[in-house]
Structure 1
Amino acid sequence: MLNIADTLHSWCREGRPFALATAVDVTGSAPLPIGTSVAVDMDGNAVGSISGGCVEGAVYDLCRQVLDEQGAPQRAWFGYSDDDAFAVGLTCGGELDVLVQRVDPAAQPHLAAALAESVSGRPAAVAQVVDGPEELLGRTVCVLGDAAQGALGDGELDRLVTAQAGALLRAGRTARVEVGGDASTCPEQLSVLVHVHASRPRMLIFGAVDFAAALSQAGSFLGYRVTVCDARPVFATRTRFPHADEVVVDWPHRYLERTEVDTRTAICVLTHDAKFDIPLLRLALDLPVGYVGAMGSRRTHDERLDRLCEVGLPQDQLARLRSPIGLDLGARTPQETAMSIAAEIIAHANGGTGLPLSQRTGPIHGNAGHALAAM
């Protein structure tokens, strides 16, 4: 639902009831991920998409029906029909499980609060019950920072759902999780879809070179908060890096020591200068970040590994280093090289192979719908 947070926030502020259709399970080559929503208000205004156009008409009709009848939430399944090419379904061959529910903003003020946080760019998580007892279906609990709002009606269940939502918010992932089912503590078993709006992941680019300028633009396009750092003030300027969120003049390892990183952070070392690289990589490979890559030839890479071994870096940390950085795209220009690096970061984050899709079999999108990174 956070894909349409702007409009939903506006409707909530106006106290306008709406129907919310959410993709609560995605399999195969469905075009949009789990948690994507469509909403329809009382005047028939619609916002969002859950299939890229394949089933929007049918979903719209379901939303109008739920709004008009003011009834219980409804489920709908959409797949591909080989028997009738004009049947409502997904031509891509995927499958969608959709939950359609009526939302009355006056009855769920915590949802309006979560939408407001999301629109403002602050972290928020909305835990939505998508499977379980009928009376709980569609109900929500929100986590805003360290505080929880809303309730499902059972203290232990609320605690479990809030804990799961908080963990996914810290990880920056939207995912579906199973909660409860323990007869001794929490007998109710629920399937909960946790919608997460996290702060933008960081891309730290070290080395104020032409490749860094192109990579900062690619990183910004992908939704990263981009920092370019270099110890040389003549090169590390805002003029040279207009697409970076910040440009820092400092020794790379010293800046990395004092800045915040997390498991979604991508560190790209483009200096290929030992006096910068070795202290920086020694620190970076010991941090809980998502990606560490370093530019240089294979000879530079071998020399770099020898130097890192000399300063005591263990093999399990050395194995984390992506060097030479990027995928083999035959890149030559800074722009092509930036695409090569960005492609490797995407593949690493999503468990991709980097192979051409034409050389693979099976679903294009795999099982990524159950646990996605949030931008």
Structure 2
Amino acid sequence: MPQLFNLADDLRRTPERAFLTDDSREIMRFAVETLMSGQQAALVMLTEIRGGAARSLGAQMVVREDGQYCGFVSGGCVEAAAAFEALEVIATGEDREVRYGQGSPWFDLVLPCGGGITLAIHKLRSAQPLLAVLNRLEQRQPAGLRYVPQTQTLTCLPAPTRTGWHNNGIETGFHPCVQVLIHGGSIEAQATADLAAAAGYDICHFDPFSGHPASQIDADTAVILLWHDLHRELPVLQAARDANPFYIGALGSQRTHMQRRQKLSELGWREEEIDRIKAPIGIFPKARDARTLALSVLADVAAARLHRDEG
């Protein structure tokens, strides 16, 4: 029979953050590595939001049996308390639900946003569901995790799912990392690639000679064209037309884009296809230096991705 922690155990297992991350892949890898090393762990999931919250539904933490944890389910105000709860779940083997903020019995744990959250804490019994999700994301395929409180089970969903409650279970959807295809031989292209890499995006280099160029582009790709030459853009634009990237942006003024529209129309593009191209690229106009342009472009990409995921 599993035993509750005694005081000595509690002191040895004081929760401590292992490292800072809110990247789902890093959080799941931490859990998998823990289980593969023979240690125990619990998964903490944000399953309900009342009012405002710092994190989205489905946000996660993983807590290891020695108290080390990673991930966020709030702005940082309840993570240590949730880790203590997770340690008890590991010790007892019984999943639980806890509430913080609005509607919670813990009057001393108030969320700064004034809202409330509910967390489901699940003792991980197998690395397989998490490994299956990670493998799909590595292959640039969407995936999901489904947790059913009544049966205390966690399964991988090998298909896209919208985060939320479905048939008595909470499902969390995951998309592959944003892939940024930057096409351009300029200082602006290099600055954008450097900033994208720092933001954790995958960088893809366009190769017009690789079979079918559209194979490099998927639904989680942002196509960024930083040429001042429409002729050089065309191979990538044609590839993007055949694929389904969530973002296509092109450098140039309004006048340049009018010329681009006319050329693409002559090549048989439909109006709705041309309308997918964000031009001039970026969230603010007339960026005159490479770093400012890179910030403008990648902020636009992040906004487009957020809009797609929330749509």
Q: State the match for 2:7 in structure 1.
A: none
Provide structure 2 residue ranges, at least 5 long, that are not aligned to the other structure: 1-23
- Worse-superposed segment, 286-295 or 92-101: 92-101
Please tell me the residue identity of whatever aligns with 2:213.
Answer: E
How do 1:183-198 and structure 2 match up within 5 A? Answer: 189-194=167-172, 196=174, 198=176
Q: State the match for 1:361 in structure 2.
A: none
SS of residue in 2 equivalent to 1:351 = helix
2:85 aligned with 1:129, yes or no? no
Tell me by how many angstroms 1:121 deviates.
4.8
2:201 aligned with 1:224, yes or no? yes
Q: State the match for 1:12 in structure 2.
A: 35
The match for 1:276 among 214, 227, 232 is: 232
Q: Is the 8 A contact 2:213 2:236 kept in 1?
A: no
Tell me by how many angstroms 1:265 deviates.
0.9
Q: Is the 8 A contact 2:32 2:127 kept in 1?
A: no
Higher RCO structure, 1 or 2 (CA under 8 Å, sep 6+)? 1
2:116 aligned with 1:98, yes or no? no
Task: Say what the alpha-carbon RMSD is for the aligned residues.
Answer: 3.3
| Separation in structure 2 between the aligned mates of residue 266 and residue 112 of structure 1, nearest angstrom | 27
Tell me by how many angstroms 1:296 deviates.
0.7
Q: Is the 8 A contact 2:129 2:145 kept in 1?
A: no
SS of residue in 2 equivalent to 1:285 = helix
Please tell me the residue identity of whatever aligns with 1:223.
Answer: G
Q: Is the 8 A contact 2:25 2:134 kept in 1?
A: no
| Separation in structure 2 between the aligned mates of residue 2 and residue 176 of structure 1, nearest angstrom | 19
2:182 aligned with 1:205, yes or no? yes
| Separation in structure 1 between the aligned mates of residue 144 and residue 306 of structure 2, nearest angstrom | 23
Q: State the match for 1:51 in structure 2.
A: 74
SS of residue in 2 equivalent to 1:35 = coil
Tell me by how many angstroms 1:93 deviates.
3.5
Please tell me the residue identity of whatever aligns with 1:322.
Answer: K
Tell me by how many angstroms 1:349 deviates.
1.4
Tell me by how many angstroms 1:334 deviates.
0.5
Q: Is the 8 A contact 1:128 1:192 kept in 2?
A: yes
Please tell me the residue identity of whatever aligns with 2:186.
Answer: V
SS of residue in 2 equivalent to 1:216 = helix
The match for 2:262 among 306, 312, 315 is: 306
SS of residue in 2 equivalent to 1:167 = coil
Q: Is the 8 A contact 1:111 1:140 kept in 2?
A: yes
Change in 2 beyond 3 A, CA 1:2/1:75: farther
Cα-to-partner distance string for 1:142-164 (whole Å, 9 max, x where unaligned)? 3xxxxxxxxxxxxxxxxxxxxxx
How do 1:282-321 and structure 2 match up within 5 A? Answer: 282-321=238-277
Provide structure 1 residue ranges, at least 5 long, that are not aligned to the other structure: 143-164, 179-188, 230-247, 353-366
2:89 aligned with 1:77, yes or no? no
How do 1:160-171 and structure 2 match up within 5 A? Answer: 165-168=157-160
Change in 2 beyond 3 A, CA 1:58/1:313: same
| Separation in structure 2 between the aligned mates of residue 126 and residue 321 of structure 1, nearest angstrom | 30
TM-score after normalising by structure 1: 0.65
Tell me by how many angstroms 1:282 deviates.
4.1
Tell me by how many angstroms 1:327 deviates.
1.0
| Separation in structure 1 between the aligned mates of residue 134 and residue 258 of structure 2, nearest angstrom | 50
| Separation in structure 2 between the aligned mates of residue 57 and residue 311 of structure 1, nearest angstrom | 59
Q: State the match for 1:156 in structure 2.
A: none
Change in 2 beyond 3 A, CA 1:227/1:123: closer
Tell me by how many angstroms 1:128 deviates.
2.7
Q: State the match for 2:108 in structure 1.
A: 87
| Separation in structure 2 between the aligned mates of residue 23 and residue 116 of structure 1, nearest angstrom | 20
Tell me by how many angstroms 1:94 deviates.
4.3
Alignment size in residue pairs: 285
Q: Is the 8 A contact 2:144 2:172 kept in 1?
A: yes
Cα-to-partner distance string for 1:331-353 (whole Å, 9 max, x where unaligned)? 2211100111111111111129x
Q: Is the 8 A contact 2:45 2:73 kept in 1?
A: yes
Cα-to-partner distance string for 1:118-153 (whole Å, 9 max, x where unaligned)? 8x956684523245xx2x2x31223xxxxxxxxxxx
Q: State the match for 2:12 in structure 1.
A: none
Q: State the match for 1:243 in structure 2.
A: none
Q: State the match for 1:348 in structure 2.
A: 304
Tell me by how many angstroms 1:20 deviates.
2.6
Identity %: 25
Change in 2 beyond 3 A, CA 1:129/1:271: same
Q: State the match for 1:261 in structure 2.
A: 217
